[in-house]
Amino acid sequence: MGNFRIGKFKIDYKIDKSELKNKIENPTFVEGLLGVGQVGLIASDHLLEEMNFEKVANVYSSHFSEPFQSENTPGVVYSEDGTAKLNSNGIFYDSSEDIFLYKGYYQGDTCEFYYLHANRMIDFCCDFKVEELYTLGGLGVGEEKEEPQTKAVITKKSQEDYVSPHAEVLRGKENRPGVTGLSGLLIGLADKNNKQGICLLGETHGAYPDPKAAKSVLASLSALINLKIDLSGLDDVAEEIKKKREKFKRRMQSLKRRGKEESGDKRYIG
């Protein structure tokens, strides 16, 4: 009889934890989840394509509801092989680069759960001796940037000297809204747990997926952690999305014109 159950939060390891701990040396943790402009998610997907990650765990929660539904709706998703899968995020590890990657669609549905989610991931980092955390996301600017820049949110003033050559450090007013969601909470909690936490945000319109912003973020991340990856594939993704947007725009314009024609003056004059 099976005993798999999902409560508020569950990390289901795919390999033995002790085996995984024997592989790590001084790992870095990178988070890229669904958010503004899908920047973090696109960046994570590209890292998975270009590096030698293996999935080490699935993360499940009763708070992981469908991200594109108007209401919190639980269920399953269809996989590429046609089978149903429970909603989950994935934790991956690349032993050659000593990097953990946390990737997925799900963050949370309540303020309380966002904190619980962040706490559990900090627990994971403490368990696996992670000292540096980088969170990736989008900075909504409401317009399309041909060459989006990366902005950084740091948790220690001492980080500015090595971060600023690769990303502009954001400044604001005390106690004003900043980085929301897991990307913000993780670096804040990292700082309170004596770890280095840095958030990298790519400038993006925010209303559609933005591979250019993801490329900018990954370029900054690569420079900061001395990672060599090919980013050219994101140019192809950006071009593909641009073509789809242009096609959609033409279709909407065509429907708009047709609507005007059909709503013209239909009164009969004899």
Q: What is the reported pLDDT for 261? A: 62
| Both tokens assigned to 227 | 């990672």
Is the backbone of residue 142 left (phi > 0), alpha (psi -120 to 50) or beta? left
- Residue with the two structure tokens 């948790």: 155
- Chain Cα centroid distance, residue 174: 26
- List the end-to-end C-alpha distance of the chain, in Å, as a whole number: 81
| 198 vs 182: CA distance, rounded Å | 12
Distances (CA, A) of 18 to 55, 58, 133, 166, 255: 15, 17, 22, 36, 60
For domain 10-233, is the CATH number 3.40.605.10? no
Q: What is the reported pLDDT for 270? A: 42
- Residue with the two structure tokens 């060459």: 147
This prediction's pTM: 0.89
| 37 vs 19: CA distance, rounded Å | 37
Q: What is the reported pLDDT for 70? A: 66
Judge residue 218's burial from the number of C-beta atoms within 10 Å of its C-beta, 0-12 exposed, 13-18 middle, 19 or more buried.
buried
Q: What is the reported pLDDT for 78? A: 85
pLDDT tens for the chain, 270 residues long, are 689 999 999 999 999 999 999 999 999 999 999 999 999 999 999 999 999 999 999 999 999 987 777 677 788 888 889 999 999 999 999 999 999 999 999 998 899 999 999 999 999 999 999 999 999 999 999 998 889 999 999 999 999 999 999 999 998 866 666 899 999 999 999 999 999 999 999 999 998 899 999 999 999 999 999 999 999 999 988 888 878 877 777 777 777 776 666 666 555 444
Q: What is the reported pLDDT for 265? A: 54
Contact status, residue 39 vs residue 217, Cβ threshold 8 Å: yes
